[in-house]
Amino acid sequence: MKIKTEAGERHVLAITVDNEAGVLAKITGLFTARGYNIESLTVADITADHALSRITIVTSGPPPIIDQIIAQLDRLVPVHKVIDLNDAGEAHVEREIALVKVAGTGDKRIEALRMADVFRAKVVDTTLTSFIFEITGTSDKVDRFIALMRECGLVEVGRTGVVAIARGSEAL
Amino acid sequence: MTEMSGADMVVQALVDLGVDTVFGYPGGAVLPIYDALYKHPTIKHILVRHEQAATHAAEGYARSTGKPGVVLVTSGPGATNAVTGITDALLDSIPMVVLTGQVPTTLIGTDAFQECDTVGITRHCTKHNYLVMDPDRLGPIMHEAFHIATHGRPGPVVIDIPKNVQVATGTYSVPEFIQHNSYRPQVEPDADAISQAIDMIAAAERPVFYTGGGVINAGPDASAALRQLVSLTGAPITSTLMGLGAFPADDPKWLGMLGMHGTYEANMAMNRADLIIAVGARFDDRVTGRLDAFSPDSKKIHIDIDRSSINKIVPVDLAVVGDAGRALDALIAAWQDKGHKARDLGEWWRRVDGWRATRCLDFPEKKEASAEIMPQRAVKALFDATRGRDPIITTEVGQHQMWAAQHFGFSAPNRWLTSGGLGTMGYGFPAAVGAQIAHPNRLVICIAGEASLQMNIQEMGTVAQYRLPVKIFILNNEWMGMVRQWQELTYESRYSNSYSDSLPDFVKLADAYGWTGLRIDNLGQLEDGIKKMIETPGPVIVDCRVAQLANCFPMIPSGAAHTDMILQPSDVTGTMDDEAKALV
């Protein structure tokens, strides 16, 4: 017997929660306990009084599972609001930051700098044998930049994961 | 606003919240609270013999009264022992508040004596939990915890209280009005949804009500409303294990329980229906059988207070989020407002009666006095002997539980206490203790299997201490019967570790604890034995020897559809493919 898995679509969820100890563990634990995917997760408090945190989760699953994830999140006591930014009519902006360290000399070093320029990546640190680039954009763009840097002496990457927000004047 | 110690605040909050009973077990990290309780004789503390039993007793108390059950245990092993009962309460939506002691805040995280990460361990088996780091927060948290445990879909809430927070003084405050800043479950159903639902019900040709524990949780008025709605529509009704008692079993519209060990007529009606009205039920895998064959031709209305239950397993056509009782009231009002009249469901009832004619709960038995007792007969005899006494019945988990569900007729809610979701062996006896504490003058009977009972048998001491007249009726077949039944179904009767070897002499055990012990060996002794059990004051354990190899039918084997029920032992093939074997 083989165990079957279902293909899914990518969704970005924005969740506001009480900024309290254990809330993040509750959210991530829900995903592991129920077998949902987390592709990326970011969290930071977002209000002046530090009472609320906003969590952005990129997940994937078939539509009924996405609905179920939202309903399961929504019933957790410390969760205030859950928004699926991929919902119809909810156009949104996604950004991710990566810090990309490239080491090398000669042509590869020049090529790395040129491509960073094309991608509008900033140099935030440099030595005679290395650069650290800061790149901001969609996850796709970051992926593509990192893939190119592999050819130019990539040694280390740090990524933030996605933050996202709906377009237009309405708040979450 | 009064200055007092954290421990005094805990007890003051319990008093303010109207708590009359706490089930618990003391230990180092809760000694300050126990000392505070000592000064508060209005709160009755029931000393159990194991913390798991405290949680099940609290469940029994809650399920039989509708009030939250309260548990008090110490840190470390006290808390971990409580985890099974907490999880049981989560799966069966039982309101419960568990107070756990914790090592002082200064020692948290140091692997201190009897330290465990209680909030971490219970994070996913509670509806919500708290670690209280400041005594000033104790008052508001205690009140909020009871609010959360009892509002929306009920469930267990853990409050972990470090010992120094119990000792330190602070200000006790009671929130005037609790409106949680994020947890606000929808109680009132949407009027449009109700209007659509009632039109669908009025138009259906083959409707079935499928009700669950949510109706019980919504209170006795919800059960009354259910009866009225069923009577108005004339539709047949079935229920889950957890929902038994919401609708009277002697009503001609009652089809019996549905699902894996449900009746043939209930499962066939679900399969052939054109409308299913699910009320406070969650389409559990024990109920649905094979999903792609579950009620294929019906529209489905799902009324539930928990939005995440809707479309979780079975996609439905109309969702009504709200309290089951409010929704039923609204449906009745809409039925009357719109002037709906019950349709002629004669053709549908003729088909139902055809399925009923299989008499799926019949069982073969010998009638002479010396014959061995069929377990079904024992349950029926118990039911007959207790009619009119309005007993509260608890069960353990296994074959005896299913036989009790099939053959004991309930006519009112809060009389049937069983572990449905988690299926916890060891639940029934302590749950009977909790129910008896809440109802000192009622007849409380735990229908047990000899294997399950041994999982919390130490509570015989608790019963003796509080002189509780709990009756334990063991259907003793010397097997973990349900395990053995599955081994017969699936593993060609290779009985791996399912025999109840080295059983105690239950009559002598009763004697050792100061109980009355009785043994029933054959059919001729059954009626008198039960009568004696009921008439004997104080706690009684009845070792009722039943047919050892009887199995529980009808049954939908795992991976099969409602229409593929095994009705007779002769239908059992003894093998199963891997897909079916992999299902629980």
> In this predicted model, what pLDDT tens digit does every residue of B418-471 receive, in sequence order?
999 999 999 999 999 999 999 999 999 999 999 999 999 999 999 999 999 999
Which positions ≥6 away from B271 have C-beta within 8 Å? B293, B294, B295, B296, B561, B562, B563
Equal CATH topology for A9-84 and A92-165: yes
**Partner residue facing A74 (CB), from B181, B307, B312:** B307
% residues pLDDT > 90 (chain B)? 93
pLDDT exceeds cutoff 80 at B575:
no
**Partner residue facing A22 (CB), from B119, B182, B311:** B119
Residue A29 and residue B124: Cβ atoms within 8 Å?
yes
pLDDT exceeds cutoff 90 at A10:
yes
Residue B180 and residue A77: Cβ atoms within 8 Å?
yes
* Topology adopted by domain A92-165: Alpha-Beta Plaits (3.30.70)
User: Cα–chain-centroid distance for residue B558?
Assistant: 22
Dihedral angle of Cα B507, B511, B515, B517, to the nearest 10 degrees: 20
Which positions ≥6 away from B137 have C-beta within 8 Å? none
How much is the pLDDT for A90?
66
The least confident of A102-116, B177-191, B230-244, B349-363 is B177-191
Mean residue pLDDT across chain A: 94
Q: Helix (H, G, I), strand (E, B), or coil: what is residue B376?
A: helix
Burial track A13-39 (b if 16+ CB lie within 10 A, e otherwise): bbbbbbbeebbeebbeebbeeeebeee
How much is the pLDDT for B581?
78
The alpha-carbon radius of gyration of chain A (Å, integer) is: 19
Separation of alpha carbons B305 and B189, rounded Å: 9
pLDDT exceeds cutoff 70 at A89:
no
Where are chain A's structural domains?
A: 9-84, 92-165
How far is it between the farthest Cα atoms of chain A? 57
pLDDT exceeds cutoff 70 at A88:
no
Q: What is the DSSP letter of B555?
A: B
**Partner residue facing B307 (CB), from A21, A64, A75:** A75
What is the per-residue pLDDT across B123-150, written as a single tens digit (0 to 9) for each?
999 999 999 999 999 999 999 999 999 9
Separation of alpha carbons A67 and A23, rounded Å: 21
Separation of alpha carbons B315 and B212, rounded Å: 18
Write out the DSSP string of B437-481: HH-TTS-EEEEEEHHHHTTSGGGHHHHHHTT---EEEEEE-SB-H
Residue A64 and residue B315: Cβ atoms within 8 Å?
yes
The mean per-residue pLDDT over the stretch B305-317 comes to 97
pLDDT exceeds cutoff 90 at B177:
no
- B109 reaches A (C-beta below 8 A): no
Write out the DSSP string of A60-121: EE-HHHHHHHHHHHHTSTTEEEEEETTSTT--EEEEEEEEEEEE--THHHHHHHHHHHHTTP
Residue A33 and residue B124: Cβ atoms within 8 Å?
yes
How much is the pLDDT for B407?
98
- A77 reaches B (C-beta below 8 A): yes
pLDDT exceeds cutoff 70 at A68:
yes
Note whether B503 and B432 are within 8 A (CB).
no
What is the per-residue pLDDT across B65-105, written as a single tens digit (0 to 9) for each?
999 999 999 999 999 999 999 999 999 999 999 999 999 99
Separation of alpha carbons B295 and B348, rounded Å: 15
* Topology adopted by domain A9-84: Alpha-Beta Plaits (3.30.70)
For the beta sheet containing B254-257, the strands, ordered from the edge strand earlier in sequence to the opposite edge, are B254-257, B237-239, B207-211, B275-279, B299-304, B318-321
pLDDT exceeds cutoff 70 at B508:
yes
- B292 reaches A (C-beta below 8 A): no
pLDDT exceeds cutoff 90 at B2:
no
- B307 reaches A (C-beta below 8 A): yes
The mean per-residue pLDDT over the stretch B335-358 comes to 97
**What domains are there in chain B, each with its CATH number?**
2-172 (3.40.50.970), 191-356 (3.40.50.1220), 375-545 (3.40.50.970)
**Partner residue facing B582 (CB), from A1, A26, A78:** A1
Q: How many other C-beta atoms can be found within 10 angstroms of the C-beta atom of residue B455? A: 22
Dihedral angle of Cα B509, B48, B76, B14, to the nearest 10 degrees: 170
Give residue B176's pLDDT band: very low, low, confident or very high (50, 70, 90): confident
What is the per-residue pLDDT across B178-220, written as a single tens digit (0 to 9) for each?
778 889 999 999 999 999 999 999 999 999 999 999 999 999 9
Separation of alpha carbons B172 and B187, rounded Å: 30
Taking CB atoms and an 8 Å cutoff, what residues of chain B touch A34?
Answer: none
What is the per-residue pLDDT across B248-294, written as a single tens digit (0 to 9) for each?
999 999 999 999 999 999 999 999 999 999 999 999 999 999 999 99
ipTM rounded to 2 decimals: 0.90
Separation of alpha carbons B209 and B300, rounded Å: 10
How much is the pLDDT for B578?
81
Label the pairing between strands A154-159 and A92-103: antiparallel
Which token pair is B489?
A: 């179904």
The least confident of A3-7, A62-66, B173-177, B199-203 is A3-7
The alpha-carbon radius of gyration of chain B (Å, integer) is: 24
pLDDT exceeds cutoff 80 at A1:
no
Taking CB atoms and an 8 Å cutoff, what residues of chain B touch A69?
Answer: none
Peptide bond between residue B554 and the one before it cis (omega within 30 degrees of 0): yes
The question of whether B260 is a catalytic residue gets the answer no
Which chain B residue shows the shortest CA-CA distance from A28? B124
pLDDT exceeds cutoff 80 at A2:
no
Residue B148 and residue A77: Cβ atoms within 8 Å?
yes
Which positions ≥6 away from B572 have C-beta within 8 Å? B488, B489, B551, B566
Write out the DSSP string of B379-431: HHHHHHHHTTS--EEEE-SSHHHHHHHHHS---STTSEE---SS--TT-HHHH
How much is the pLDDT for B576?
77
Expressed in angstroms, the distance from the first to the final Cα of chain B is: 53
The mean per-residue pLDDT over the stretch B27-42 comes to 96
Residue B181 and residue A74: Cβ atoms within 8 Å?
no
Q: How many other C-beta atoms can be found within 10 angstroms of the C-beta atom of residue A96? A: 23
The owner of tokens 């593929």 is B564
Q: Helix (H, G, I), strand (E, B), or coil: what is residue A128?
A: coil
User: Cα–chain-centroid distance for residue B518?
Assistant: 27
How much is the pLDDT for B1?
66
- A67 reaches B (C-beta below 8 A): yes
Residue B182 and residue A18: Cβ atoms within 8 Å?
yes
The mean per-residue pLDDT over the stretch A5-17 comes to 89
The question of whether B425 is a catalytic residue gets the answer no
- B184 reaches A (C-beta below 8 A): no
For the beta sheet containing A52-61, the strands, ordered from the edge strand earlier in sequence to the opposite edge, are A40-45, A52-61, A9-18, A79-84
Region of B142 (left: φ > 0; alpha: ψ -120 to 50; beta: rest) is alpha
Instruction: List the catalytic residue out of B4, B9, B23, B51.
Output: B51
Mean residue pLDDT across chain B: 96
Residue B51's Cβ-side half-sphere holds a number of Cα atoms within 13 Å equal to 22
